[in-house]
Amino acid sequence: MSWLELSLTIHAQQQTAVEGALEDLGALSITLRDADADTPDERAIFEPGVGEIPLWNEIVLQALFNAATDRAGLVAALTDLAPELSPERITFREIEEQDWTRAWMDTYQPMRFGRRLWIYPTTVEPEGLAADAVVVRLDPGLAFGTGTHPTTALCLEWLDTIADARALAGKRLIDFGCGSGVLAVAALKLGAACAIGVDNDAQALEASRINAERNAVGEKVDLYLPQHFPPQQADILIANILAGPLAELAAQFAASIAPGGLLALSGILHGQESELVEIYAAWFDELVVTQREDWVRIAGRRKN
């Protein structure tokens, strides 16, 4: 089976009207990226600074339709619904269906984070590792979090570091925005006593459950949607989400960490960290910023 991908470049001010028109025409999915990026993957996250309203000057908008959709009719209807749109900016291509998860797994290789933490795909058997190596077996399915993204890597390295400092053994951890569950599972395999995963995507919670069971720590993990997450305190909280939600959730996170407990935040673009450090300084000491590529991690300790 194949699909028809419509691609067009628009001005930022046209986004709302064109996106609405595409949805009215039956688009199965719509994705956006910065037209000024050097590569299709560059600057793919449309995330503002804290308190900012962002606009890319030019946006490449891609919409997926059934392969049998009439191209000429699609262009005519689209330009009728959004008269400001230039037809010459619209292009099409056919995309063959494939198992995207399996395609990713075929190219994913084992990776080490810190001194002894390894993430292995379920398709590769660990061998030749040090005796104290800690291995997490991962099949993320459709949920975010594999270790390949700098934000996840920053969090995994932090977990390995605090485990080496004996600050993780026997502790209770909250993984807010757990995605695939990789951070909670890694923490448990590094010595944490129990973990709580919170995510607003039920599919992510299912992926977390499966990955926890695959790593024989399923009985140590509790999973919640945010609205069902009961107020409680943990020794450690880690959140790999985005800067905006991190700012909004600061007070809730502070209330969820016992005095002297540890915090790690990521999903933060370089340049966004100063405002977040200022916000979190109300509740946390020893705030340290670590950068990896265009992303940063903020780590600190809950004030007594």
> What pLDDT, in 10s, does the model give residues 244-280?
999 999 999 999 999 999 999 999 999 999 999 999 9
End-to-end C-alpha distance for the chain, whole angstroms: 59
- The rounded Cα 236 to chain-centroid distance in angstroms is 19
The model's pTM: 0.71
pLDDT class for 102, splitting at 50, 70, 90?
low
Residue 36: per-residue pLDDT: 65
The band of 42, judged by pLDDT with boundaries at 50, 70 and 90, is very low
Average pLDDT of the residues of the chain: 86
Cα–Cα distance list, 81 to 16, 53, 86, 163, 283 (Å):
12, 26, 12, 57, 50
Using an 8 Å Cβ cutoff, are 162 and 156 in contact? Answer: no
Q: State percent of the chain over pLDDT 90.
A: 57
Q: Calculate the CA 124 to chain-centre distance.
A: 24
pLDDT band at 142 (very low <50, low <70, confident <90, very high): very low
Domains and CATH numbers, the chain: 2-97 (3.30.70.120), 101-302 (3.40.50.150)
Whether the Cβ atoms of residue 153 and residue 113 lie closer than 8 Å to each other? yes
pLDDT band at 49 (very low <50, low <70, confident <90, very high): very low
pLDDT at 37 over 60: no
